[in-house]
């Protein structure tokens, strides 16, 4: 019988069978884990498939990179990928559309996730509705994408605008970026859930990983 789980101390059981079962590997969510726990997990993984470490603090990243010095690291996305090489892309392309520069950490988390799950990915940044001409300048790029991830905070209007322009499915990601009435991402979340454009699905607040994973699965089909 093949190994299905790999026990790490008394705090983790790595789901090494997930690639065989679901087609995609397990990711390591790092927030809330101690440095010792992160080190133990990093020492237990192998390079038979891609492992993503998400939501890393600077100290988490230092620990992982000490164990896996050849890993890819994007400090803005707070994400590490090991091995660093991306797989040969298959399926249709994924486009990540980012409303503002402040949304880039979540957008880049989504971008790297879809890329390391085997999709061709591009990023279109700072094209929010406050300057809608910036988005419309890239209409050809929008129409060429197979799946579009739209990341926005504030009023969260961008996914509806994109959804009204394209035939591709849209994965909307609300972020916690915005002033007080944004309620830490609740305002854009509700806007996206109430989108008048069909074909828009919504993931949780700041969930770039979940958006990238969902887009990669849609793009594969």
| Contacts with 180 (C-beta within 8 Å, 6 or more apart), sequence order | none
Q: So what's the pLDDT on residue 170?
A: 98
Residue 1, pLDDT > 70, answer: no
Q: So what's the pLDDT on residue 201?
A: 97
Rounded mean pLDDT of 59-65? 96
Whole-model pTM: value is 0.93
pLDDT over 70, % of the chain: 99
Q: Do the Cβ atoms of 33 and 62 come closer than 8 Å?
A: no
Rounded mean pLDDT of 37-55? 91
Rounded mean pLDDT of 52-69? 96
Residue 43, pLDDT > 80, answer: yes
Rounded mean pLDDT of 92-117? 97
Average pLDDT, the chain: 92
pLDDT confidence tier of residue 189, bands split at 50, 70 and 90: very high
What is the distance in angstroms between the CA of the first residue and the CA of the last residue of the chain? 30
Which of 138 and 2 is assigned the larger pLDDT? 138
Q: Is 194 helix (H, G, I), strand (E, B) or coil?
A: coil
Residue with tokens 């940044």: 125
Q: So what's the pLDDT on residue 2?
A: 52
Backbone phi and psi for residue 124, each to the nearest 5 degrees, phi listed first = -120, 110
Distance CA 10, CA 152 (A): 39
* Sign of the CA dihedral running 156, 106, 121, 198: negative
Distance CA 72, CA 112 (A): 10
Q: So what's the pLDDT on residue 87?
A: 87
Q: So what's the pLDDT on residue 148?
A: 98
Share of the chain residues as helix, strand and coil, in percent rounded to the nearest 5: 40, 20, 40
Q: In this predicted structure, which of 45-49, 93-97, 160-164 has the lowest mean pLDDT?
A: 45-49
* Sign of the CA dihedral running 78, 102, 111, 175: positive
Which of 215 and 26 is assigned the larger pLDDT? 215
Q: Do the Cβ atoms of 26 and 14 come closer than 8 Å?
A: yes
Rounded mean pLDDT of 99-121? 96
């Amino acid at each position: 019988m093949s190994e299905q789980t790999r026990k790490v101390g008394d705090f983790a059981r790595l789901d090494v069978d997930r690639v065989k079962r679901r087609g995609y590997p397990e990711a390591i969510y790092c927030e809330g884990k101690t440095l010792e726990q992160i080190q133990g997990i990093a020492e237990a993984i192998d390079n038979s498939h891609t492992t993503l470490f998400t939501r890393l603090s600077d100290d988490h990243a230092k620990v992982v990179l000490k164990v896996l010095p050849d890993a890819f690291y994007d400090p803005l996305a707070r994400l590490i990928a090991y091995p660093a090489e991306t797989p040969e892309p298959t399926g249709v392309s994924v486009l990540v559309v980012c409303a503002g520069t402040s949304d880039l950490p979540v957008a880049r988390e989504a971008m790297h996730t879809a890329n390391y799950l085997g999709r061709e990915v591009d990023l279109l940044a700072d094209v929010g509705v406050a300057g809608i001409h910036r988005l419309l300048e890239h209409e050809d790029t929008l129409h060429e994408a197979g799946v579009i991830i739209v990341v926005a905070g504030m009023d969260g209007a961008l996914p509806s605008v994109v959804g009204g322009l394209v035939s591709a499915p849209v994965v909307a990601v609300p972020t916690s970026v915005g002033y007080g009435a944004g309620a830490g991402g609740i305002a854009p979340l509700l806007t996206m859930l109430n989108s008048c454009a069909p074909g828009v699905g919504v993931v949780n607040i700041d969930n770039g990983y979940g958006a990238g994973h969902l887009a990669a699965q849609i793009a594969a089909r």
